[in-house]
Structures are given as structure tokens and as C-alpha cells.
Structure 1
């Protein structure tokens, strides 16, 4: 086997692990290395004058964590969502953030060779925060770029 053939085999076998989650019926994935914790519904304290995407803050083992309403961030209906949302805690630029989602699924190991670029038909707001997608048994898993999800919020603040 040549070096090029060996590299091609390795490329096909490389995989990434994603924590899956659902927001309004759409499946998203975050690289597992970005996830610090997964929490059930939490008591969120509203922050006055915060951007609409910021649901408030929560206390996680003595640390104040900014809670991001992912339905609001994705321009989806979010009435009565925050009270029952699951929280996926991620770290970005040494700050913890809690992404509020409908539910958290499983950890999937997916082949990097199966990842597709964002389609042109994907909503522009979603395209800004997505790093591609995977086609899974009749559904799409959109890979979230945590820096893009949180960077836009920080820039708006």
C-alpha cells in the first residue's frame, strides 16, 4: 500500500464525537471536547438589559454561567421554553456558557469523511453558526460552531 493509499484509508477512518441535542425538533451536535456538563432544568436568574438570546444566568458549583436561549438564538418560538430546558454547559474563551436546548441525546462518533458543507438552502442565521452537517437516518445533524454561536452574542452585548 502506498503512502497516499494509507492516508486515504486513515482519512476515511477519522471520526469526531458529538454530543447531540434537539432544539424545536432539529438535531444539533457539539464536539464532545467542548462540553463541560449536561444539566436538567435549572433556576435561571434574568439579567436586566441583556440581549434577547441571553435567558439569564445560573449558578453552577459557585460559578456564574450565562444561559443562552438556543431557540431565541436560532429565531425559533421560545415561549415557556426556558423553564423546562436542558442545559449543555460549554466553555468559550475561559467563560462558561449554558446552551438551553429542548433535550440532550447521545454521544455519536461520526466519520469526518461523511461531513457535508452547509447547504445554500440553510437559513442564513443558521449558516453563520454551523460547521457543516451529517445526514443521519432521515434527519440532519447540524454541527454547531461554539465560537460563532457565542461570538455573535458577545459582539451584540
Structure 2
């Protein structure tokens, strides 16, 4: 999928900024073999992987920062954040740029799939379990789509994570 197409997909969904039209809509993407979703209202844009500048003394899952049209944005590799093995980026790897409470952050994902509407009635609470990586604290729920399940992430918790906030503060200071 070309960058232009990724942007068009998101633009089509965000043409109307009305919160009501974005309710229950999720940008779905893959990390390894699992399908995840984040609320579309938190997504600013989707960009293809570009050069990521490393910043010393960051957790391994914070790959560094990118310069996106003059704005320095920290980039978190969700594979590593969730305790999965690192993989070589390819032409399907994307950075999903999100913003919460003035904090902008990019999430590296293996591939963007689609935008889906998942009604609240089809979302179940996250199961109670304890993972090695602590991934469960970022799960908002499980979206049932036909016979498939989408792991719905709480972007606010991802962005407001203490380690990520400290990285964001460093990039703000550097400006």
C-alpha cells in the first residue's frame, strides 16, 4: 500500500471531524500474527517508515524520533513494546501518528489493514491475564468482527505511559 493510499484511507474516514461519525471506528493493523485496533479519533495520519534518528538512553522499544514536516515525533515500536521479536521493516511497515492531550507519538506497526466500525455491543472487556510484557494494561477490549477478534488498544494509556512521556518531554525540550 503506498503512502498516498494510506493517507487517502484515513482522509476518507476523517472527512467529517464530528466526534459522532468517528464513534466506534477503529484503525486496524497487524503486529506479527495479531490484529489490533485503535480508535480512529486518536489517529492524525499514517506514514511509511522513514529514517528514524536514534536518541541515546531510551528504552529499546522507543526507536528514536522522526521529523514529520518540521515536527519531531518520538516513535515506539509496538512489536518491541509488547515483547515480540524485532523484525526488518519492509514496504508495508507504517508509522501510525497519534495525538493525545497535546502529546504526539508515532507507533510502528507491521501493516495497516483497514478502518472498521465495531459497535459497542461487539466489544468485550479485556480478559484478566498477566503477560510477561505487561501488554494487558494497554488493552481496552476485544472487538468481535465476524469470527475474528481485534485487540483494541487504549492509545491514551500507550501515550501516557511513563517511559513514553519522558521521551516526549525530551523531544519537547530539544525543540
TM-score, normalization by structure 2? 0.74
The answer on whether the counterparts of 2:118 and 2:144 sit within 8 Å (CA) in structure 1 is: no
The answer on whether the counterparts of 2:122 and 2:145 sit within 8 Å (CA) in structure 1 is: no
Structure 1 residue 51 displacement after superposition: 1.3
What is residue 111 of structure 1 aligned with on the other side? 119
Q: Mind listing any 5+ residue stretches in structure 2 that lack a counterpart?
A: 1-22, 168-175
- Match runs of 1:7-156 below 5 Å: 16-81=24-89, 85-121=93-129, 123=131, 125-152=134-161, 153-154=163-164
TM-score, normalization by structure 1? 0.82
* RMSD, matched Cα: 2.1
Per chain length, whose mean CA-contact separation is higher, i.e. which structure has more relative contact order (CA < 8 Å, sep 6+)?
1
SS in 1 for 2:24: strand
Structure 1 residue 84 displacement after superposition: 6.5
SS in 1 for 2:124: coil
**Which portions of structure 1, spanning 4 or more consecutive aligned residues, are displaced by more than 6 angstroms?**
none
Higher strand fraction (1 or 2): 1
SS in 2 for 1:90: strand
How far apart, in 1, do the equivalents of 2:110 and 2:54 lie? 19
SS in 2 for 1:108: strand
Q: Mind listing any 5+ residue stretches in structure 1 that lack a counterpart?
A: 1-14
